[in-house]
Homo-oligomer: A and B are copies of this chain.
Amino acid sequence: MDLLKLGRGVLASQPFSQMVGAVLTRFDQDGTEIRVPVKDALKQQHGFVHGGVLSYLADNALTFAGGAVLGTGVVTSEYKINYLRPAIGQDIVARALAVHSGKSQAACRCDIFIVNDGKETLCAIAQGTIARLSASSPGE
A: residues with CB less than 8 A from B are 10, 13-20, 40-46, 50-53, 55-60, 63, 75-86, 99-100, 102-105, 107, 109, 122, 125-129, 134, 136, 139-140
Contacts and interface: CB of A to CB of B under 8 A. Distances in A.
Nearest to A57: B52
For this chain, the copies found in one complex come to 4
B125 A127 contact: yes
10 contacts: A15-B40, A16-B53, A51-B56, A51-B75, A52-B56, A55-B56, A84-B99, A100-B125, A103-B134, A103-B136
Contacts of A86: 140
A48 to B, nearest CB: 8
Contacts of A45: 10, 13-14
